[in-house]
Amino acid sequence: MAALLLVYLSAQGIRHMRVADASQLQTDHFRILYSGILPAEASAIARQLEANYEPVNKSLRNLYHPLITVHIHPNQGAFNEATGLGGSKANGTSRGPYTIHLMYQTWFNTFFPDDMRKVAVHEFTHCAQLNILLNEAPDRAAADFEQRFEKRFAEQYPRWFWEALSDYEAGMVNKWSVRYGMRSKPSLQSLNQGNMIYKVGYTAVEYMVKKWGRDKPALFIRTYGNFREVLGVTEAEFEEGWRTFVKEHY
């Protein structure tokens, strides 16, 4: 045990000496601002974002997206202070369509770190969804547009789809988590509360794409989740088919 602790502390010390102070890099579509992580880690996130930029935008028909700023923080305290999310344990959040914040997870600050490259793509997909809704919303020139948009988004846009689509585009799925999460046969509405959406959400969009086609999530965004208009089924019918799909494939 003492030997393992020594190895851990030595590795932590070496990392501390190698991490960067406040730095930045820019790609074609992202500006990465980071501190307290290795330059190679920031570069890996930049590459992953660029590799997914065109595929995500193409599949969702997000035709134009201004430069996105990505802030990468080395610990939870710095992330929470920058985002104003006091007490949060999140490792990523989007702030509108043009800003992302990440709390970079490693074995030195969490027991089970997520793949931060995928977390970055997850958050970018949130940005893409917002960009689509804002650009295609009616009455954008109205004086109270922002307030009306925020109200409609909060009341009508399905949170389960907001998170599930981002997980799907980022490839964030774990079959064991899916099996555990689906044991209680959750409804889509139940996924609007709590964190179960992150265990099973990927599969809801996977089912939608495999049964109805890759173009349907883009339409689902624009109709604020209208099952009948986009898929020709009710929400209950979708749920029944989704549960069967998961049972057969997971």
Query: Are residues 31 and 121 both part of a single domain?
Result: yes
pLDDT at 141: 83
**With a threshold of 0.85, does the pTM exceed it?**
yes
* Domain range for 48: 14-131
For residues 104 and 4, give the distance between their C-alpha atoms in angstroms, rounded to a whole number: 24
Query: Are residues 21 and 104 both part of a single domain?
Result: yes
Query: Are residues 119 and 168 both part of a single domain?
Result: no
For residues 52 and 59, give the distance between their C-alpha atoms in angstroms, rounded to a whole number: 11
Residue 139 included in any domain: no
Distances 65 to 45, 89, 153, 222, 223 between C-alpha atoms, Å: 18, 29, 19, 16, 20
User: Average pLDDT for consecutive 10-residue bins of the chain (250 residues)?
Assistant: 47 57 93 95 98 98 96 95 92 97 90 94 98 92 92 96 98 96 94 94 98 98 98 98 97
Residue 32 included in any domain: yes
Query: Are residues 114 and 163 both part of a single domain?
Result: no
Q: Domain boundary residue among 131, 149, 165?
A: 131
For residues 14 and 8, give the distance between their C-alpha atoms in angstroms, rounded to a whole number: 10
* CATH code of residue 69: 3.40.30.160
Q: Domain boundary residue among 131, 148, 171?
A: 131
Residue 6 included in any domain: no
Query: Are residues 118 and 196 both part of a single domain?
Result: no
Query: Are residues 119 and 166 both part of a single domain?
Result: no
Phi, psi of 96 (to 5 degrees): 80, -170
Residue 20 included in any domain: yes
How many independent structural domains does the chain possess? 2
